[in-house]
Amino acid sequence: MNPESLNELIRNRRSVFPDQFKAGKKVDDAIIRQILINATWAPNHGQQEPWQFSVFTGDGLRAFADFQSGLYKQDAGDAFNEAKYIKLQQQPLKASHIISLGMKRSTKKNIPEIEDIEAVACAVQNIYLSVAAYGLGGYWTTGGVTYNEKARTYLGLEENDKLLGFFYIGHIGVPSAPGKRIHAEEKTNWITTA
């Protein structure tokens, strides 16, 4: 890899949402496995590797859609919104794969929880860049049932663990618009003297 290729990959990565995916076109499971291998090469304190992924595909997408929409309906009470319920049922079915992004709390007591969360975020960046490198689309969502305790246990995460969201992956049908960023110099302080 040369620096120009890396710069291009990083600067052209975009979130691609389920409505932009090609309907019904599946990503090869072998590619998803490679993406997850890349995710596990993220930096992490004490080599604790605090990520825990669950991959939904095929009929698993329907199971996830039923779980999250059912959980929403069960817990919403008077705040129930039919449009949100339908979206929770339909969005997962537009993806080829959905990866749950779990954080398993480190067993080393000297590692602050935030560092485990940051390690998983680094793993997600590796997922984003890998998805882009394969010419696929994807995005990290913290919506839906992400912060519901029942979702955490549904995914096999324990009391001290956290569910940090879901990563949707699919073939791009409608590309995202070019991105823009504030120039790095406007967000950077250079300290050159003592």
User: Helical H runs in the chain?
Assistant: 3-12, 29-39, 59-76, 82-90, 113-133, 149-154
| pLDDT given for residue 1 in this prediction | 79
Average pLDDT, the chain: 96
% of the chain beyond a pLDDT of 70: 100
* pLDDT, tens digit, 9 for 90 and up, residues 78-101: 999 999 999 999 999 999 999 999
* N residues, the chain: 194
Neighbours of 3 (CB within 10 A): 7
Tokens standing for residue 163 = 């569910």
Q: Which residue has the tokens 């997922």?
A: 127
User: Does domain 15-175 bear CATH number 3.40.50.970?
Assistant: no
Residue 121 has pLDDT above 90, yes or no: yes
| Average pLDDT for 73-82 | 95
Q: Domain ranges for the chain, please list them.
A: 15-175
- On whether the pTM is more than 0.85, the answer is yes
Residue 106 has pLDDT above 90, yes or no: no
